[in-house]
């Protein structure tokens, strides 16, 4: 008796196994070739490979591998077969094949040797089509290359960090984290900067919500500002496992924006100042006159305008010192820049320093905003300080420092502001007398008096009065829409005969009043009123003042010569020593050429 139970079960299991293998063989999505290990002839091929390469099963069966079209020109096939005689496994990562219809594909080729029995060994070749994967890999490579080239010289950097906020990857980093992977911000930055940046990143890690913030990093001895966007990295379950971020260096943009903001504010301040100047402008128009005294002034203007030398204009009130200052500016190399004027008398002494130097917010009670001073507004241009003799003594050293160093600090500020301006100063005071009385610093006076120009009063250039009268008549006729075509000789002679202590400004006011009074085409001037004012002035003079005016007039007519045939002493009918004594008593200095 023989027990056949086990063989039957074995045969059943074998048939089941073979059926399962065959089903896998027939339905596999990879190509499968079976070769005889001794001869290299193909004994079987699955449907997927037949379909992939375009050959029939009959063309495969019985042929050696290197005889089939796709493998004919591939030397590795014979080498692989020879190698498989000694090894049991060979793999080619990417093998180029050509299908029967001429298409090129890339395959992954894996060969294994199996022993079916002691006598029979076969080679199973698995052929996987990786053409699409290779195309995707190439597309990814090209995309990464474009990405790398785009970021190479850009201000953008990228990074990734794990849950412990340690760097796992970075590109184009400003922190050189490529050499410091696995490190945290605390190990790379200063404590305060790291704490601020880490706080935002930790928030994204804990909430899973993206964030955007501006960060500050100091490197290369300079503060840099970065616009940073941070996104959470999620696992398939939606848990945050890290963060990734993009940051852009916006330092230059920030600095440019700040500079534009400062420039806009300065332009606003300058616009406001210029609007105020237009409202308060005296309206002299162009400098009018042909007298020798005025021609001498304009010759000095042409001489000094081409330099950057400080100019000191000396003259009585109303002589047109501001017009001469503008003439110096217009003919200088700074004519394209601003002409900033400040009248030192018109501004209260308590606000004079703020107006001149500017102030920071909160510098003093009432300083609710930062203010740009006249010195800063005049940068690259010209600053005209009218009535400079009225600057308080405590402010004079600060002005001297600006003139010497071309730098200053705003009130309440620590930052030194550098400026480059040309100074023109004017005064109707005797600054030398003010120095003797300790009212004006001598070092500031000598710094201002580099190129003094004396503006003559109107009584010293009476020949210009007709031109000025005609100029003002035309000006006010145009403004008032009147037509005045003639000026009586009697009126013109009377106007030439007045002393005009208020100089050109007083003459302008008189002509404006005359134009208002005139109803026809002939100018009607209020001569009686002018004569009455002059008489009242004469009556109001003391004997000493009248004597002083008399002596000054004689000195001018003698060109400030005391003795000699043409001297003032002879004109006044007194001895030279007597005149010298009176000059000293009345405070008249003949050496200066002016009272």
Examine the pLDDT at 545 and tell me if it is beyond 80: no
pLDDT band at residue 463, thresholds of 50, 70 and 90?
very high
Looking at residue 448, what is its pLDDT? 93
Contacts of 38 (CB under 8 A, 6+ apart): 121
What rounded mean pLDDT belongs to the chain?
A: 82
DSSP code of residue 411? B
Compute how many other C-beta atoms are within 10 angstroms of the C-beta atom of residue 297: 23
* DSSP H/E element including 106: strand 104-115
Give the CATH H-level superfamily of domain 282-454.
P-loop containing nucleotide triphosphate hydrolases (3.40.50.300)
Q: Which of 30-44, 134-148, 478-492 has the lowest mean pLDDT?
A: 134-148
Contacts of 225 (CB under 8 A, 6+ apart): 214, 215, 216, 249, 250, 251, 254
Examine the pLDDT at 434 and tell me if it is beyond 90: no
Report the distance separating Cα 575 and Cα 563, nearest Å.
Answer: 8
Looking at residue 501, what is its pLDDT? 86
Examine the pLDDT at 278 and tell me if it is beyond 60: no
- pTM of the predicted structure, to 2 decimals: 0.50
Share of the chain above pLDDT 90, in %: 21
Compute how many other C-beta atoms are within 10 angstroms of the C-beta atom of residue 479: 11
* Cα four-point dihedral sign 433, 437, 442, 444: negative
More confident residue, 366 or 595: 366
Contacts of 193 (CB under 8 A, 6+ apart): 215, 216, 217, 218
Q: Write the pLDDT tens digit of every residue in 442-462.
A: 999 999 999 999 999 999 999
- Start-to-end CA distance of the chain, whole Å, equals 160
* Cα four-point dihedral sign 19, 21, 26, 29: positive
More confident residue, 276 or 522: 522
Class of domain 154-249: alpha beta
For CATH 3.40.50.300, the residue range(s) in the chain are: 282-454
Tokens encoding 394? 């405590």
Contacts of 470 (CB under 8 A, 6+ apart): 487
Looking at residue 277, what is its pLDDT? 56
Tokens encoding 560? 């400030």
Highest mean pLDDT among 188-197, 208-217, 358-367: 208-217
Query: Collapsing DSSP states into helix, strand and coil, what is residue 429?
Result: coil
For CATH 3.30.450.20, the residue range(s) in the chain are: 5-134, 154-249
More confident residue, 368 or 430: 430
Q: Which of 8-12, 273-277, 417-421, 488-492 has the lowest mean pLDDT?
A: 273-277
Give the CATH H-level superfamily of domain 5-134.
PAS domain (3.30.450.20)
Q: Write the pLDDT tens digit of every residue in 280-334.
A: 443 334 688 889 999 999 999 999 999 999 999 999 888 889 999 999 998 999 9
Phi and psi at 270, nearest 5°, equal: -65, -40
More confident residue, 106 or 380: 380
């Amino acid at each position: 008796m023989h027990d056949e139970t086990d063989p039957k079960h074995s045969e059943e299991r074998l048939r089941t196994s073979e059926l399962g293998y065959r089903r896998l063989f027939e339905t596999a999505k990879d190509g499968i070739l079976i070769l005889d290990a001794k001869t290299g002839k193909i004994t079987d091929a699955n449907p997927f490979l037949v379909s992939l390469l375009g050959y029939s099963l009959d063309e495969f069966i019985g042929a050696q591998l290197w005889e089939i079209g796709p493998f004919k020109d591939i030397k590795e096939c014979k080498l692989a077969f020879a190698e498989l005689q000694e090894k049991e496994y060979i793999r080619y990562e990417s093998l180029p094949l050509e299908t029967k219809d001429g298409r090129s594909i890339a395959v992954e080729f894996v060969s294994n040797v199996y022993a079916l029995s002691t006598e029979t060994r076969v080679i199973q070749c698995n052929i996987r089509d990786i053409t699409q994967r290779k195309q995707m890999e190439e597309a990814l490579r090209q995309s990464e290359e474009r990405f790398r080239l785009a970021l190479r010289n850009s201000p953008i950097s990228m990074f990734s960090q794990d849950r412990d906020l340690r760097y796992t990857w970075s590109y184009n980093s400003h922190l050189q984290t490529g050499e410091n992977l696995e490190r945290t911000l605390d190990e790379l930055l200063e404590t305060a900067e790291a704490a601020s940046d880490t706080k935002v990143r930790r928030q994204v890690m804990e909430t899973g919500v993206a964030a955007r913030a501006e960060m500050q990093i100091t490197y290369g001895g300079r503060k840099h500002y970065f616009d940073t966007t941070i996104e959470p990295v999620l696992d398939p379950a939606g848990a945050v496992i890290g963060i990734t971020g993009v940051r852009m260096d916006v330092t230059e943009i920030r600095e440019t924006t700040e500079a534009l903001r400062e420039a806009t504010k300065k332009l606003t301040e300058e616009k406001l100042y210029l609007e105020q100047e237009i409202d308060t402008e005296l309206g002299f128009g162009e400098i009018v006159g042909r007298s020798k005294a005025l021609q001498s002034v304009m010759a000095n203007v042409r001489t000094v305008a081409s330099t950057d030398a400080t100019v000191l204009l000396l003259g009585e009130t109303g002589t047109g010192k501001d017009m001469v200052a503008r003439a110096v500016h217009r003919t200088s190399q700074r004519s394209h820049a601003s002409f900033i004027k400040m009248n030192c008398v018109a501004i209260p002494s308590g606000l004079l320093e703020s107006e001149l130097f500017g102030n920071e917010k909160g510098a003093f009670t009432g300083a609710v905003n930062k203010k740009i001073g006249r010195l800063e507004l005049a940068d690259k241009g010209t600053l005209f300080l009218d009535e400079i003799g009225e600057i308080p003594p405590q402010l004079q050293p600060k002005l001297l420092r600006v003139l010497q160093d071309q730098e200053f600090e705003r009130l309440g500020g620590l930052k030194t502001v550098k400026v480059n301006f040309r100074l023109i100063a004017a005064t109707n005071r005797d600054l030398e007398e003010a120095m003797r009385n300790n009212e004006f610093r001598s070092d500031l006076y000598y710094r201002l008096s580099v190129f003094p120009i004396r503006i003559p009063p109107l009584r010293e250039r009476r020949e210009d009065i007709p031109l000025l009268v005609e100029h003002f008549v035309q000006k006010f006729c145009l403004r008032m829409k009147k037509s005045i075509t003639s000026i009586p000789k009697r009126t013109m002679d009377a106007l030439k005969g007045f002393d005009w202590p208020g100089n050109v400004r007083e003459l302008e006011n008189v002509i404006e009043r005359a134009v208002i009074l005139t109803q026809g085409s002939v100018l009607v001037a209020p001569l009686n009123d002018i004569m009455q004012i002059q008489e009242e002035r004469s009556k109001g003079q003391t004997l000493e003042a009248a004597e002083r005016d008399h002596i000054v007039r004689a000195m001018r007519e003698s060109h400030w010569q005391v003795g000699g045939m043409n001297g003032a002493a002879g004109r006044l009918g007194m001895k030279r020593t007597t005149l010298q004594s009176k000059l000293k008593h009345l405070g008249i200095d003949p050496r200066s050429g002016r009272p």
